[in-house]
Chain A
Amino acid sequence: MSTDTADREHYEAVVVGCGPGGAAAAARLAEHGVETLVLERGTEAGSKNVSGGLIYAEDSAPYTIDDLFDGFREEAAERPVTDYRIHNVAGNSVKTYDLRDLHEHDTDWCEAVLRRRMDSWLEQRVHEKTSETGGGVLTNVRVNGLLREDGEIVGVTCDELDPIGADLIVAADGVNSELARDAGLMDWEEPEEWFQGVKAVVDMDPAVIDDRFDLGEDEGAAHLFSGDLFEDVRGGGFLYTNEDSLSIGTVFHLDSLVEQQAEPHQLLDALLTHPMMARWLGDEYAEREYAAKLVPDSKKVAHPEPYQDRLVLVGDAAGQMQAQGPIIKGMNHAVTAGALAADAFAVTRGNADPEAAGRRYAKLLEDSGTMDKLRPRRYELARAVGERETVTNAVERVLDSPVGRVALGNPISNRLLERAYNSPFLVSMLPDTRTGYVTVPSIIGEQHGRTIQWETDIEPPTLEERIGELTYDTDVGNPHIELEDESFDASGAAVYACPVSAEDFGGGCYRSEEVTHNGSEETVVSLDTQPCVECGTCAIVADTTWEHPRGGKGVEYREG
């Protein structure tokens, strides 16, 4: 073994996290003959992961997941997406556009996935591959920081194991990457750089799914929702068909959630109980799992040079999550990035400069066009004017005026709108204001929509019931989040923005409480980490010290 410090464990490569990014990196490293150790904090890969649920294989991407993992679509995925629509909602009026053209642009295939099943399958493949070159996957191990020597990153430190040295450290530890933050490459500062998604996995018999969504064998549907469903909160909803369940969720700009003081679980319920859902959900509603996740907005945070010393970041850890209008792609970019990081290491192996692999990786991201998908230059230009509040307001006023409504409401514009939605270029330029998310779609819904007369009797579970259904292994006496400032000013936003907390709900993570301090009444925030789903929202919106729980501890997703 190549050991630089006598008694320290050393691997050529250590990959932190066994999601798609980590799995791709590890698999590709093993193919290059690199001795690779994969550390996963979940009790099994996938137990800590949530995603909306679509993974793409892009024609233009240098790597797709089935290139790296043979049989992926058959073994690890749910249903291919063959039907893709967006619904613009205004009250009970809904206008639907077929988005297949946009969806199929540059798409080799697209599958709905559930992460527990997918990632645990990947973990086995990765273990097989990495075992052959002297490594393997270890679960229940939380990497808690970077090992430095003379100020240089040389390995990782863990809660459960002694420090491990490595020539390459791949941080694929997700959106709340502690390694990326330790290295100072990412932060948790600005709510406007993040989305928050919540999702319900709804139990449904395969035959019923086929019937309600009009699907044949090997077919699946993806529906997107936008409009005034969610009041003024910027974001949208989705519904994907799995083999025997549906993934239904909502994704919002975190700053908008905070601004509107919206409760994420109520926004999800607003979608679930909208009359248009009745034809898909029927009368029986059985929720298998409630989940939440923070999503980086790659337009703003995808790190153009995601490396430092021997450390490279891939996937969510590097902010590589593309969410532009109806396009939501994350896992495919993580796969590409992971594989490119591995290739970069293989090519530069032996180079005395510790940053050689990282530099090479950044170059490959750029050259392969991946970086431009994540941070399109068109968007940087459009954003400069488009997101300024005054411009938003001006545009809003025009749209609200009779002239604006006619413009969007006339039959010609209807055709144009469908084309506009289907243009990847136009979509990538949509500024992130309520104009794009709320105003335009709801005017479309109002002017073009068909009014839905169905009724829905669905009663989604309460937040308390949802938390009760989740599986936790609580690290008693060892909370992983500490509230640094309990004043409502500093941390009150977490009470509503946290997906497992709510105003007037005592069973959640964050609760506001009236306390009397020497006679004067004051509102403070208290925290109980037991119901925590580890999404990271409070790391941004509240004043906390945020870490992941120890290996194997905390929430365990069954669906993901």
Chain B
Amino acid sequence: MTMDPNEHTVDELEDELESIDDEDVLQSILEAEQAGRDRKTAREAVHRRLEAVGAVDEESESEGLEGDTETEGEYEETEETVGEEAEGEEVEEVAEAEDEAGEEEEEDDELSHPTRDKRHVRALEDGDYADMWVFCETQGGELIDVSKEMLGKARRLMDEFAEEYGVSASEESGGSEDGTASGDEENVVAFLMGDDCEGLAEECIAYGADVAVYHDDDRLERFLHKPYTEISAHMARGEGSIESTEWRDYDQPRYILFPATNNGRDLSAKVQAELDSGLASDCSDLFIEENEVSNPVKTGEPGVKKTFEKVLHMKRPDFSGFEYSTILCLDNPGREFHPQGASVIPGSFEPIEPDYDRDGLVVEHEMALEDDWFRVEITEHDRLEAGIDLTGHEVIVCLGRGIAEDPTEGMELGLDLVDAFEDAELGITRGIVTSSYQFEGHVEEYSKEERQIGETGQVVAPDLYIAAGVSGAVQHKVGMDESDTIVAINTDTDARIRDFSDYFIEGDLFEVLPELTEAIESGRTELEAIADGSGEESENGGESR
């Protein structure tokens, strides 16, 4: 038997050699190795075996499995590249996380900085900053909800700001960096652009803005990176005609908010880069406070503490909300980072009640838009179905798998009952969405996921919730538990829904639903009386009054 050592690793070879006692064979292996790959370690292995066989005592098995140590020191690198880097690199570049003390940042020499080639950077030092600007995104000629939410939050923040830094504070604030006109209050400034958005600018005032700056151009009907960015930066720097900028006398906004929507995220990054400032993306909370910092990059010299006033604290969820970090955007000596900017997760804040009599200044922004900015052309667009919103109705009629016997008729009966109410909608359980029921064409649209109530569907809390043929699985319960009055119709008195229903009607929905519908249409019953108030079975629905 011959073995070619060149086919084996040294470790394998050692292992194989263990079983070879014949000196000649070993010699031939050695020669084969020398003729072939001629590895030093392999030769040594054969030598060792030869020694072991040839004379003295058996050398113990050497499972030299040390391996090489080439991987030393690579951990940092691999860790970073594998652990998906959170977005928001822009933030790290200029904005400082609160806890970052001790982390080294290179002294800014204005040469090695990636934005060094920017020609338009203004107000690097001793700039004047004021106001909280809010980008109000529009869609289909309307302000989207998050725009109103941000205006509401900005309103509250700047009201508090006025209390904190207003009249009394301004008396003692002679040497403050704050050089705004009145020195007491600062404004909420809405800025928006579009095809015909003066009306929307006025709506921004109603939702809490003091000033609304808008730019109209029919080419701006849809979001476009380049013109939107250019206009935003132009507005923020106060460039443009005297008429359109005389209301302000600062260099750049103190704060700026964008919606963390698809378009808002894009715009926020580009505008903040354009203005040479930082961005905290996807924030869920904001507050304004002073902050003491000892980081020499920020204070100018080591060992010195410096207090920054009026710092916007931007909280954002990390790791899917398991942790939060608070991002601050602080000036360096010699290089100031304003506006302090954030994008805001929709739904984080409440809008204020709109007041259409609120006073405010609506300003049309003037600026020549270069054709070159419109090289991107939107040739086609499609608006996705908004889906069905089951929330906010007085009554929800929900159908479950109790309709199995005749799904189409069950659906029709449910819809009849919905129609009998003034403000009702039809919901269904997941059991129906995932069923293979054959619905006839005219009711099929009601069997889709968009009407599903429950953990993986919508969560509703109407005044009246009528659950027909719904067993009441936990996943369904979480979607309707908060309803004021829950009425269940079920043939099975052991159904779990009974545990959390106010009224339980034992009966077949195919019989009970028409009775209910009739009763409600004829006005002979009030909802509370449906089950005779006992909460127990009542065979004949709403006939009781």
- A interface residues with partner B (beta carbon < 8 Å): 1-2, 9, 11-12, 32-35, 37, 131-136, 138, 160-161, 343, 346-351, 353, 356, 360, 464-465, 467-469, 472, 474, 476-477, 486, 506-507, 511, 513-517, 524-528, 530
Contact = CB atoms under 8 A, between A and B. Distances in A.
B58 to A, nearest CB: 20
B342 to A, nearest CB: 27
7 closest residue pairs by CB, A with B: A468-B474, A528-B434, A506-B401, A33-B67, A526-B436, A134-B71, A35-B71
B9 A530 contact: no
B63 to A, nearest CB: 8
Contacts of B71: 12, 33-35, 133-134
Contact of A136 (B79, B436, B449, B475): B79
A131 B496 contact: no
Given A138-B82, A346-B67, A468 B473 contact: yes
Contact of A347 (B9, B401, B475): B9
Nearest to A517: B438
B434 A527 contact: yes
A350 B430 contact: no
Nearest to B495: A464
Interface in B337-395: none
A32 B67 contact: yes
B78 to A, nearest CB: 6
Contact of B78 (A34, A132, A134): A134
17 contacts: A1-B77, A35-B71, A133-B71, A135-B78, A348-B12, A351-B9, A356-B9, A360-B12, A472-B455, A507-B431, A507-B471, A511-B431, A513-B435, A524-B436, A525-B436, A530-B456, A530-B475
A34 B66 CA distance: 10
Contacts of B437: 513, 515
Given A161-B84, A351-B9, A486-B436, A464 B473 contact: yes
A474 B467 CA distance: 23
Interface in B1-17: 7-12, 15
Contacts of A517: 438
Contacts of B83: 138
A490 to B, nearest CB: 13
A467 B456 CA distance: 15
Given A138-B83, A513-B435, 5 more contacts: A32-B66, A136-B75, A348-B11, A476-B456, A506-B401
A76 B455 CA distance: 34
A474 B430 CA distance: 12
A358 B430 CA distance: 46
Q: Which of A12, A160, A350, A507 has the most CB of B within 10 A?
A: A507
A33 B66 contact: yes
A349 B435 contact: no
Nearest to B449: A477
Contact of A526 (B68, B77, B435): B435
B60 interface: no
B435 A511 contact: yes
Contacts of A37: 78, 82
Given A136-B79, A464-B471, A530-B456, A347 B12 contact: yes
Interface of B: 7-12, 15, 63, 65-72, 74-75, 77-79, 81-84, 400-401, 404, 430-431, 433-438, 449, 455-456, 471, 473-475, 496
Nearest to A135: B78
Contacts of B78: 1, 9, 11, 35, 37, 134-135
Contacts of B433: 528
A134 B67 contact: no
Q: Which of B65, B400, B449 has the most CB of A within 10 A?
A: B65
Given A135-B78, A347-B65, A476-B456, A467 B435 contact: no
A347 to B, nearest CB: 4
Nearest to B65: A346
Q: Is the interface of B mostly helix, strand, loop or mixed?
A: loop
Q: Which of A353, A464, A530 has the most CB of B within 10 A?
A: A530
A506 B11 contact: no
A113 to B, nearest CB: 27
A359 to B, nearest CB: 10
A526 B435 CA distance: 5
Contacts of B75: 131-132, 134-136
B9 A515 contact: no
A288 to B, nearest CB: 16
A1 B473 CA distance: 52
Contacts of B77: 1
B256 to A, nearest CB: 33
A161 B13 CA distance: 38
A43 B133 CA distance: 40
Nearest to A469: B474
A507 B9 CA distance: 58
Contacts of A468: 473-475
Contact of B81 (A9, A35, A526): A9
B496 A506 contact: no
B473 A507 contact: yes
Given A348-B12, A506-B471, A528-B430, A134 B74 contact: yes
A356 B449 contact: no
A138 B79 CA distance: 10
A33 B68 CA distance: 7
B176 to A, nearest CB: 48
Nearest to A11: B78
Q: Which of B71, B79, B84, B431 has the most CB of A within 10 A?
A: B71
Contact of B12 (A351, A465, A511, A524): A351
B522 to A, nearest CB: 33
Given A134-B74, A343-B65, A349 B430 contact: no
Contacts of B8: 351
Given A134-B74, A507-B473, A516-B438, A32 B65 contact: yes
A473 to B, nearest CB: 10
Contacts of B9: 347-351, 356
Nearest to B469: A506
A194 to B, nearest CB: 26
Contact of A34 (B67, B430, B474): B67
Contacts of A356: 9, 12
A1 B74 contact: yes
A513 B435 CA distance: 8
Contact of B430 (A1, A465, A524, A530): A530
Contacts of A513: 404, 435-437
Nearest to B496: A464
A528 B404 contact: no
B431 A528 contact: yes
Nearest to B68: A33
Nearest to B401: A506
A536 B15 CA distance: 41
B516 to A, nearest CB: 22
A541 B67 CA distance: 46
Contacts of A526: 434-436
A27 B407 CA distance: 56
Given A33-B69, A37-B82, A486-B436, A347 B74 contact: no
